[in-house]
Structure 1
Amino acid sequence: MGMTMTQKILAAHAGLPSVEAGQLIEAKLDVVMANDITGPMAVPVFYQMAEKVFDPEKVVLVPDHFTPNKDIKSAENSKSIREFAKKQGLKWYFEIGRMGIEHAILPEAGITVAGECIIGADSHTCTYGALGAFSTGVGTTDIATGMATGELWFKVPRAIQFVLTGKPSPYVSGKDIILHIIGKIGVDGALYKSMEFVGDGISELSMDDRFTMANMAIEAGAKNGIFLVDEKAESYMKEHSEKAYKIYTPDEDAVYDEVVEINLGDVRPTVAFPHLPGNAKTIDEIEAMEPIKIDQVVIGSCTNGRMEDMRRAAAVLKGHTVHPDVRVIVLPATQKIYKQCIKEGIVDIFIDAGCAFSTPSCGPCMGGHMGVLAAGEKCVSTTNRNFVGRMGHVDSLIYLASPEVAAASAIAGYIANPEKVGDRS
């Protein structure tokens, strides 16, 4: 019986010739990551198992969720992992001013590459599947175990294959594609399965598109998302990392629960309405409704805070002014992206349009700080979740969208079509 990409990676890390769906295995880990929320909870559990981490070059700590520290508790949390990183001599610790949002900074810093087995104490750790790695989110006890032993048990997931064909239309990006897919299969459509992306259409997607799509695999309930590695992915890894990588391809007789074909040319700008990422509606459907007035726009996060996202949003906003009733917060995902925005004049575009341009942080994504919503407020956000109370008050409403839809909505004051606002020239 053939194996999927994910199954091949897990078999290699378990030291087994093959594995099959449902099998319980113990696999060696290449990267173990935690942040300022999950890390402080994992540290005391770790010390019940070991005094030293299994490898100080493979344990990564990124304080990003409540940083810059918003209160005393968040300051204490950051302090605890800062001290742990120093005591353990960790190679990879990203403090404020040298940091980024975890799922953007790890690939940028060359910490994650194809063929690796990666765990993170954050559900969106599946982001690194864009590089052809098996990466998944786990709980704090599992992270503590990984830090102590360098190994973790897994149940080998079943899989769905997504065959991508065609080319996306202008104003359609990875965010639209993944929202389209989640809308198609549902928020539990890939429950504990691997979402494996193949097909000629992959070549039409930028790496930033792929990071966005892999990032949101968890929003369909998936164990992980993973892309077939092509020349574009290899070029990215060679540019950013000195680590050796290994490319795994699915066997022709690999077993998939289903095969879903997606013609990228058919995908329209898509928005997920409250309160689920699967509640997807196309911009055409939205334009047929009464205008949905908004109070806030957030552009950033581990989903859409990369350089291409900044450029896309700025291209729409250039020469325009944010609607007077709308607050716009822009958060580049890393310091490198922040500097590139300055270099390209993108910061000027955002500020001249009336946006707040802020330091890298998860911030408003999970209602942490820097953009918490009040009762009744509506927000168009490029983040990954729109659950009840996710960004603040339980009576607030979150609409998930691409950077271009978010920017167009910021100008209009309601959810708007970027095709009728922006200038891609």
Structure 2
Amino acid sequence: MIAFCDTMTITEKILSEANKKVVKPGEIIEVDVDFVMSHDGTSPPAIRSFEKIADKVWDREKIAIIFDHNIPANTIGSAEFQKVARNFSKKQKLSHFYSHGEGICHQVLPEKGLVEPGMVIVGADSHTCTYGAFGAFSTGMGATDIAMIYATGKTWFMVPESFKIEINGKLSNDTSSKDIILNIIGKIGSEGATYKSCEFCGKTVEEMDVSGRMTITNMAIEMGGKNGIMEPNQNTLKFLSERTGKNPSEFKIFKSDHDSQYEKEFYFDISELEPQISCPNDVDNVKPISKVTGTHIDQGFIGSCTNGRLEDLKDAYEILKGNEIHSDVRLIIAPASAEIYKKAIDLGYINQFIESGAIVCNPGCGPCLGGHMGVLTKGETSISTTNRNFKGRMGDSESEVYLSNAKVVAASALKGYIESPSDIRLE
């Protein structure tokens, strides 16, 4: 490990280690990549570019291709894309190829033990920043950049300035980490952290479970962040040890120095936070639920790489238990991975969802993309646990999408309009 100066952030330390010398914000650097990922939608363009420059990947153990965006294939085009990726994976003998519905890439990689603290992870998907929840530097890139990593194992970055985002307080029963990050995005803005390293810290983050941490880092990109990152906590280390088979002492853990230099610092007390709703058509158009209660909905969706984890399904289960979905609403639920799906079956969640009238889909990105399933038509409104709600995201450009936590989606599906979970519990 190189000798760091004593005023560095976690991101600066990771990039310094990958660059083999101390780096500073604004500096253009070349780094060694520890792991690279692409999915069925982004692999073929990367593969075609790769094949123009190389015959063999740099390390077949450090590349993952995961089918999640259109699984099973819903068009001839998506089937052709998947065929290209299958053939490439076979030819290159990739060790990490997941094409049988294992789940969403950002959930599958940590589950398979492929993410560790201190790693530099690059993915051909904007929400690759999710792995910052585990103390890794992770970010999304385009197909050409991914192709070069396939070939060389290296890429370049401009070292980002860091934002310190400190979160303290205890959430209410109606709220979750989704409300925390929506509130933060509402304050900072969808472009307020462009190309910044968004470092989340504070007592709330220190005590947060893995699912909640992943939700927050996942949406760092929604305020323009280059990456979202947190120092690993005990919950994270326990999860990683179980997945990798390693002792926590074997991980390369980096922590920000006490006097680290940040471009900006933000402080949030979430003790009095009510459920937050991101309103059409921008993710930073965030309002407390009290301002939008009663808004008609046609569809609800619980899933995605942001909120399709077991904790989210449990939240929905507790609201839906013994209740039926409103006759005017279709509720779609898609677990983030096959592992989560199976656990949800064992716990009785899936059976309850079906009894309540929900449509339970296979693990994958599903309705989040507005083309695979759950498409909205003109004039329809959805409330969703996904991460984006720009115009046309889930279907027709004249449809509307609201974003919330899973409890709010479930409560709203029962009523036919946006509703607070607390009002359901009082009935």
TM over 0.5: yes
Q: Does 1:193 align with 2:199?
A: no
**Which residue of the other structure, out of 91, 94, 116, is the alignment partner of 2:119?**
116
**Which residue of the other structure, out of 291, 296, 305, is the alignment partner of 2:299?**
296
> 1:124-149: per-residue Cα shift (whole Å, max 9, x none)?
00000000100000000011011111
Q: TM-score, normalised to structure 2's length?
A: 0.96
Runs of at least 4 residues of structure 1 off by over 6 A? none
Residue pairs, 1:72-221, within 5 angstroms: 72-97=76-101, 99-221=102-224
Alignment correspondent of 1:271:
277
Q: State the alpha-carbon separation in 1 of the partners of residues 145 and 374 from structure 2.
A: 31
Q: Does 1:410 align with 2:413?
A: yes
Q: Which amino acid aligns with 2:18?
A: H
Q: State the alpha-carbon separation in 1 of the partners of residues 54 and 172 from structure 2.
A: 52
Any conservation in 1 of the 2:178–2:215 contact (CA below 8 Å)? Answer: yes
My pick for the range that moved more, 358-367 or 414-423, is: 414-423
Alignment correspondent of 1:43:
47
Q: Which amino acid aligns with 2:388?
A: R
Q: State the alpha-carbon separation in 2 of the partners of residues 46 and 65 from structure 1.
A: 21
Alignment correspondent of 2:268:
262
Give the length in aligned residue pairs.
418
Residue pairs, 1:58-73, within 5 angstroms: 58-73=62-77
Q: State the alpha-carbon separation in 2 of the partners of residues 337 and 105 from structure 1.
A: 10
> 1:33-67: per-residue Cα shift (whole Å, max 9, x none)?
00111101110111122111111111000111011
Any conservation in 2 of the 1:321–1:352 contact (CA below 8 Å)? Answer: yes
**Which residue of the other structure, out of 203, 226, 230, is the alignment partner of 2:229?**
226
Percent identity between matched residues is: 46
Q: State the alpha-carbon separation in 1 of the partners of residues 86 and 383 from structure 2.
A: 34
Q: State the alpha-carbon separation in 2 of the partners of residues 69 and 49 from structure 1.
A: 29
Alignment correspondent of 1:7:
12
Q: Does 1:372 align with 2:375?
A: yes
Any conservation in 1 of the 2:174–2:420 contact (CA below 8 Å)? Answer: no
> 1:69-120: per-residue Cα shift (whole Å, max 9, x none)?
00111111111101111111111111124x1100111111111111100000
- Secondary structure (helix, strand or coil) at the match of 2:60 reads coil
Any conservation in 1 of the 2:367–2:374 contact (CA below 8 Å)? Answer: yes
Q: Which amino acid aligns with 2:296?
A: K
Q: State the alpha-carbon separation in 2 of the partners of residues 328 and 183 from structure 1.
A: 26
**Over aligned residues, Cα RMSD in angstroms?**
1.1
Alignment correspondent of 1:384:
387
- Secondary structure (helix, strand or coil) at the match of 2:401 reads strand
Alignment correspondent of 1:319:
322
Q: State the alpha-carbon separation in 1 of the partners of residues 171 and 145 from structure 2.
A: 39
Q: Does 1:30 align with 2:34?
A: yes
| 1:267 Cα deviation from its structure 2 partner | 2.1
Q: Which amino acid aligns with 1:277?
A: V
Alignment correspondent of 1:252:
258
Structure 2 unaligned spans of 5+: none
Q: State the alpha-carbon separation in 2 of the partners of residues 262 and 299 from structure 1.
A: 26
| 1:422 Cα deviation from its structure 2 partner | 4.1
Any conservation in 2 of the 1:116–1:245 contact (CA below 8 Å)? Answer: no
Q: State the alpha-carbon separation in 2 of the partners of residues 171 and 28 from structure 1.
A: 43
Structure 1 unaligned spans of 5+: none
Residue pairs, 1:47-58, within 5 angstroms: 47-58=51-62
Q: Does 1:239 align with 2:242?
A: yes
Any conservation in 2 of the 1:317–1:422 contact (CA below 8 Å)? Answer: no
Any conservation in 2 of the 1:34–1:62 contact (CA below 8 Å)? Answer: yes
Q: TM-score, normalised to structure 1's length?
A: 0.96
Q: State the alpha-carbon separation in 1 of the partners of residues 91 and 361 from structure 2.
A: 31
